[in-house]
Structure formats: C-alpha cells, structure tokens
Amino acid sequence: MLTYDFDKRGEKPIYEWLYECMKNDILDGKIKAGEKLPSKRSLARHLEISVITVENAYAQLMVEGYVYGVEKKGYFVSRLEERIAQPKEPPRENCEEQHKKKYRYDLTANSTGVDHFPFSVWAKLLRKVLSEKKTEILMRSPYQGVLELREAISLHLYHFRGMSVEPSRIVVGAGTEYLYGMLIQLLGRDKIYGIENPGYQKIRKIYEKNDVQCRHLPLDKSGLSLEELEKNDVQIVHISPAHHFPTGIVMPIKRRQELLRWAQQEEGRYIIEDDYDSEFRFTGRPIPTMQSIDQQERIIYINTFSKTISPSMRISYLVLPNHLMERYNQELSFYSCTVPAFEQYTLAEFMKRGYLEQHINRMRNYYRSQRDALICALEKSSLADRMEITEEDAGLHFLVNIRTDRSLEELKRRVESAGVRLSWLDEYYYELLEHPPTTAVFNYSGISGEDISGVLKALEEAVW
C-alpha cells in the first residue's frame, strides 16, 4: 500500500503532504490511471493518521481532478497526460538593469521637485478623507469618476478657463494616454485621425497601437494647416491650440474659427483640444479654450493634473459634448473608472479648498523664476550671440536655436557627452528632416537653480 515519509513534510499539514505525494505519484505514473485507491479507512490505518486527514487529501485530489469517485465503489485515478514538471525554485532575484544613460543635467524631464509639492496639506487631506469618507472610498466609484471631483473640476474650468461645463459631461481617467484609448473606442476605429507634425510623439504611437489611421499634418505659423486637414480626409484632429508642443505656437482666433467651421461642415468631425499646460502662461491672461466658443458640440476637451500637481498622479479628464457624453453613457459606461476613489476624493478636497489654485500660482512663479534665471544665464554666456530663444512665454520649456557650423548630429553627441540631456526639435517630427534645425527644446521643470551654472558650463563646452 502507498507509503510516505511524513517526517519530510516540514511545516505542511499532514493532509497537504499526503495530497502532494499522491499527486506526484499520479503524475509520475507510479499510481496508474484507472487504479483504485485504498479506502480512506484502510489508508489511514496503514499510515497511522486519522481518517479525516486522508479524507481531506482525497477531497483535494478530487477537486483538482487527479482522482474521481464512483458511488459505492471507491476512488480511482484519472487518465492524465504525461507529467508536466512544476517549477519549484523561488523567483530569481531581480536586478533590473539601468539601461538609462546617466546625465548630470536632465532638461527633458517633467518633474516636480520634492520642495515644491505641498506634502503637509496633502497629508492632512488624506487623513481627512480616510476618516470622513470610509464608506465612499471603499465603493467602486461611478464610471465617470466621483461626483465631488467632477464638481471641483467644473468649477475650476469655469474660474480658470472660462468654460461652462456640467459635471455630468466630465469623464475622469488614469492619465491622458488612457483617455485617448477611450476616445478611439468612443469615436470609432474606422475614422481618420490627424495629429500635429511636429508634435507629441506618444499620440502617434497610441493611434498606431490601436490600429487607427493617423495622418501627420504640417503646421504653418498659425498652427495646424487647414489645407492639409482637408487634403488628408481627416475626420478627427488632435491639437493643442493654447500652446503647441514643442513649437509653442498659440493658435490665433482666426485659425480657431476656421477649424471650428471645418468641424461643423461634416457629421462626425471632431477637434480634440489638448489643454495640457495652459496653467503656466507667464505673460498676460491664460489663452482662452476653443471649447468655450464651440456651439456645435465639435470640441472634445482633455486635460491632466500631471503638469499642475505631479506626473506620478495619474489623473486626467475629458469634457465631452452632450451628444458624445450620451454615447459614452450608452456604450462605454461598463468600464470602471480607472482612478482609485481615495485619490479622487483627496484631489477634490484639494481643489475645493483652493489649494490647487494656490499651488498653481506658486509653481507658476517658481517656473517663471527658473525660466528667467536660465534665459539670463544663457544671455550672459559665451553662447549669447550664437543663439536665439523663442516661445518662452508659456509652458515649462522654450526653444533655443543654436547657430553653429557643426552638424546637428555632432552637436547632439557633444551635448550628450558633456552630461546634458536635451531633446531637439527634429525629434518631434514624424519624418526625417532633410535640413533639421539645430534647435534644442529646453525643459526647465526638472532642474534646480543651483544646476544652472553647471548646465551653462557644459553647454558652452559642447557648442564651441
């Protein structure tokens, strides 16, 4: 009869050890298919264990299908395939290699320094939400996001962007990239999408990965060219009229009107207005949104808290025109909201109590001073008469055109080996440029004031 060494079982319960031994014997063919197992009582007596222990082991073998019972006859071994070995070693230690090059200065990253995040306020609100909203934060939030947050966003849009948007037309989601995917599901995979060229590369990748036709549309000095839009049969176009990335173009009112008229001319045409960094305009008033002058339900507005709060907080939102919101309710409301309820309530409190406004104002001042310091240093440097700074009024970056006899490739190589990570305008084009401009994109949100002299020194070395 089956005999097993129970001393080897270590910490395992006896029934589990018995189940494992028998399972292995069945898989190894030591107990043959069709063979009748000893009765529980006799096996228990033989192994000097209790009947209930054998019963538990048999039950587990039954549930997993290794044996089957025949009424009044007993237990029999199932007919299985040859053994499939089970890996048993613990997971290997993970040493994810850092493929990233180490740079001394990174002028490409969007990041908020620890010094600038309102940790104590945030901690206070977390505690408040955790103690006052116990029930709510454990409930699956509505698919659009929790009402408190949508109300706070609605008020924010009214006061800061002059937009009149009911909370019922807002959809909260885990990041802009996620929401692009939802828009494709909402608007249809059979449409032709248009994106700005140069532009933000991720959007193209998302459309590609979603098997959607996507045309790259060149810009003129007012932004997206209407002629190209028509020529390419685009139906849905993706733009950032308040501040194009990376060129910084502000789309003038005339082009906005033309685009709106274009959208109104045919059913199914929409403009996705990505308002990603409109909060950080340093001169004058914020640029109004196209959404606020759209009367034909053609504008889909999208924005994020990645720039205003932190890129690690994955909260973005859509504002949909009425008829699209209805379609969303009908067709996509089965998707759960992707943002944790806890995070949503905390952000809602942060906004309602005016902390977001405070924080944006503080960050705008900080970024302005960073920009001023960097520009000032550039202008005082030996590079001053070899470069031209443009589009410095808004956002967290500006363009620096460098006049040099070196090729762009050489320039990039030299800047890189000087320890400075920069991105370059040509990298935002969807095709290889024949004569790429020697224009760098300086993103200053990730460097500190103390870094500036180091950055300049490295750049001077590299360019000369």
Q: Which of residues 388-407 bind its own copies (CB under 8 A)?
A: 393
Nearest CB to its own copies, comparing residues 253 and 377? 253
Q: Least separation, in Å, of the C-beta of 111 and its own copies?
A: 6
Who contacts 464 (Cβ-Cβ below 8 Å, separation ≥6)?
Answer: 382
Task: Restricting to residues 30-69, name those near its own copies by CB under 8 A.
Answer: 56, 59-60, 63-66
126 near its own copies, rule: CB under 8 A: yes
* Total Cβ atoms within 10 A of residue 293: 13
Region binding its own copies by CB under 8 A among candidate stretches 44-52, 208-216, 361-369, 420-428: 208-216
How far is Cα of residue 99 from the mean position of the Cα atoms in its chain? 21
137: part of which helix (H) or strand (E)? helix 134-138
Paired with 442 in beta bridges are 398
When asked if residue 336 is in the footprint of its own copies (CB under 8 A), the reply is: yes
Q: Which is nearer to its own copies, 3 or 295 (CB)?
A: 295
Q: State which of residues 72, 91, 385, 450 lies at the interface with its own copies (CB under 8 A).
A: 91
Least distance (Å) from its own copies to the CB of residue 264? 10
Contact positions with its own copies (CB under 8 A) in 148-187:
150-151, 154-155, 157-158, 162, 164-168, 174-175, 177-178, 181, 185
Nearest Cα neighbor of 2 from 44, 33, 34 is 44
Binding residues for its own copies restricted to 401-440, rule: CB under 8 A: none
Nearer to its own copies among residue 346 and residue 381 (C-beta): 346
Options 138, 266, 354, 432; binder of its own copies; rule CB under 8 A: 138
CB of 177 to its own copies, least distance (A): 6
Q: What count of residues does the chain have? A: 464
Nearer to its own copies, 310 or 404 (CB): 310
* 26, 110, 202, 259 from 232: Cα distances, Å: 65, 33, 21, 14
For its own copies, which residue of 10, 72, 73, 86 counts as binding (CB under 8 A)? Answer: 86
By beta-carbon proximity to its own copies, the closer residue of 262 and 424 is: 262
**269 has which bridge partners?**
none
Please give the residues from 233 up to 262 whose contact with its own copies meets the rule CB under 8 A. 250-258, 260-261
CA 299, CA 276: separation in Å to the nearest integer? Answer: 15
Which of the ranges 279-287, 358-366, 371-379, 430-438 carries the binding residues for its own copies, by CB under 8 A?
279-287
Nearer to its own copies, 207 or 414 (CB): 207
288 binding its own copies? (CB under 8 A): yes
CA 327 to chain centre: 24
Do the Cβ atoms of 189 and 213 come closer than 8 Å? no
**Token pair recorded at residue 433:** 């440029």
Q: Examine residue 217 and tell whether it contacts its own copies (CB under 8 A).
A: no
Rounded to an integer, what distance in angstroms lies between the CA atom of residue 35 and that of residue 38?
10
Rule CB under 8 A: which of 101-120 touch its own copies? 110-114, 117, 119
* Among 340, 406, 427, 429, contact with its own copies (rule: CB under 8 A): 340
Q: Where in 117-240 does DSSP place strands (E)? A: 170-173, 192-197, 213-220, 223-224, 236-239
Q: Which range in 229-237, 331-339, 379-387, 421-429 contacts its own copies by CB under 8 A?
A: 331-339
Q: How far is the CB of 148 from its own copies (least distance, A)?
A: 11
Question: Which whole-number Å values give the CA distances from 391 to 7, 29, 246, 292, 441, in the listed order?
Answer: 76, 75, 9, 24, 10
Task: Give the alpha-carbon dihedral of 324, 325, 327, 328, to 10 degrees.
Answer: 120
CB of 438 to its own copies, least distance (A): 26
Site string for its own copies, 65-84 (x = CB under 8 A): xx-----------xxxx--x
Q: Are 420 and 278 in contact (CB under 8 A)?
A: no
Number of residues near its own copies (by CB under 8 A)? 108
Q: Which residues pair with 372 in a beta bridge?
A: none
> What are the strands, taking DSSP E only, across 283-370?
299-304, 316-319
Q: Is 127 in the site for its own copies (CB under 8 A)?
A: yes
- Contact yes or no for 157/362 (Cβ under 8 A): no
Compare residues 169 and 414 and give the one whose CB is closer to its own copies. 169
Shortest CA distance to 394 belongs to which of 223, 256, 239, 279?
279
